[in-house]
Amino acid sequence: MAIYKNYKIAKVRKVGDLLGREGVSDHVIKAIEGWDGSYKGAMELCGKLTLWADVSTFDDYWQEQVQRGLEKESSIACDLITTLNT
């Protein structure tokens, strides 16, 4: 099952244009600070951060930072697969 995104990327890029780097970062920090510490809340946080990752595409540098984080986590996930399959 894929994650359904009920927005168009062009619209969320516009949010990034309006907020700028600092504003986008502030919203990401607010989302993280709003996490309730639960497993369910952690997964909800993933959804919130997915939106802000899409917003980051308004700026090449911010998008590079998001890509860097995605690559780091992808590497961790691949290591987990290797470890759990042995």
Q: Rounded to an integer, what distance in angstroms lies between the CA atom of residue 54 and that of residue 52?
A: 5
4 pLDDT band, cuts 50/70/90, is: confident
By the 8 A CB rule, do 52 and 31 touch?
Answer: yes
Domain ranges of the chain: 9-84
For 16-75, the pLDDT digits (tens) are 999 999 999 999 999 999 999 999 999 999 999 999 999 999 999 999 999 999 999 999
pLDDT value for 3: 82
Dihedral sign (CA 35, 49, 31, 33): positive
pLDDT at 60: 97
Q: Is the pTM of this model over 0.95?
A: no
